[in-house]
Chains A and B, each alone.
Chain A
Amino acid sequence: MVDNKKIIEILHSIATVIEENNSFLTELDNVIGDGDHGINMARGFTEVEKKMDTLADKDIGAILKSVGMTLVSTVGGASGPLYGTAFMKAGTAIGAKTDMTIDDFIAGLNAAIDGVKMRGHSTTEEKTMLDAMVPALNAMKDTISAGQRDTSLVLSTGVAAAKSGVEHTKDLIATKGRASYLGERSLGHQDPGATSFTLILETICNNL
């Protein structure tokens, strides 16, 4: 599917997309959170970019773990520990490989989701990033089960499901994170974390 060099390229693209969406993500977070999601994610991925050159010859597991540690140390908001844990767990699951398959990707996302659930003591239907991550994973698994192994196609079903998941967060009252303090006022607004995850997955898909 992709080798370690491609992973570095994709991470550069993710950093660019996060920077481009800095204001958008922050605006979403202004409405139902503490208004720092875009700023924090951009800060974290700027630091990830700085690390890239030192990671170029590392295996995929090591690259993802380093990305995770960088996000934990530099993001400054809840998305730091959450995305940090997600990347680190994915790195551990994929391991010391320099080339990964769609099955590795699925295993990585699966581990990332478990990590986010553990770190945030959260599950789906709580208006969090999990409401995009879990539907995306399930859709991709279904596509693979149906016999489709073309990575772009598998990923694109994941992106579509993540986008629907983001739409669905508008119908949810937040019970985790800062938005949970707002009660029903969080209704009608999409979750910033679910949105940033969808942007990341879409960037991976577009760069395969």
Chain B
Amino acid sequence: MVGIVIVSHSKKLAESILEMTKVMAPNASVCAAGGLDDGSFGTSYEKIKNAIETVYSPDGVVILMDLGSAVMTTEMVLEEYESDKVVMADAPVVEGAIIATVYAEQEKSLAEILVELQNVRSTPKFTCD
């Protein structure tokens, strides 16, 4: 099963998104990497790396990030891996996490999940008339 990692500046935000994913995809393999070791805001290289290792399987890992240093720090962790099976997805982090975990739980492939995450970027929350 593809693993999912949620990276946020906030420990609580990352954990809450993880909680939300459990409602629809209780058996997904998902890990939160939020905040710094002392609980303050920021992104931790170690936490991201550990989260990837926690959910890693040969099927791959999708990482969703909030913004700024969450993206850059994740990028640096991935450079260490040099694996095309561990990838970042550029998608809204809440919708993305829910969609990714739902599809992962259905044993969809990494490529299929990435297509769905690409679609969510252009899915409006409501229609303006």
Contact surface of A with B, Cβ cutoff 8 Å = 34, 36, 40, 72-73, 75-82, 84-85, 119-120, 177-178
Contacts and interface: CB of A to CB of B under 8 A. Distances in A.
B41 interface: yes
A81 B75 contact: yes
Contacts of A73: 45-46
Contacts of A40: 42
Interface in B4-41: 9, 36, 40-41
B41 A119 contact: no
B54 interface: no
A80 B72 CA distance: 9
Instruction: Pick from A76, A77, A79, A120 the residue with the most CB of B within 10 Å.
Output: A76
Nearest to A79: B69
Contacts of A36: 41-42
A84 B76 contact: yes
- A contact patch SS: helix
Contacts of A85: 76
B73 interface: yes
Nearest to A178: B68
A80 B69 contact: yes
Contacts of A34: 9, 41
A72 B41 CA distance: 15
A80 B73 contact: yes
Contact of A76 (B44, B75, B76): B44
13 contacts: A36-B42, A72-B73, A76-B43, A77-B42, A77-B43, A77-B69, A78-B68, A80-B73, A81-B69, A81-B76, A82-B72, A84-B76, A85-B76
Contacts of B41: 34, 36
Nearest to A76: B42
B64 to A, nearest CB: 18
Given A79-B69, A85-B76, 11 more contacts: A36-B41, A36-B42, A72-B45, A73-B46, A77-B43, A80-B43, A81-B75, A84-B76, A119-B75, A120-B72, A177-B68
A178 B72 CA distance: 13
Nearest to A180: B68
A159 to B, nearest CB: 27
Contact of B45 (A80, A119, A120): A80
Contacts of A120: 72
Interface in B37-72: 40-46, 67-69, 72
Nearest to B45: A73
Nearest to B74: A81
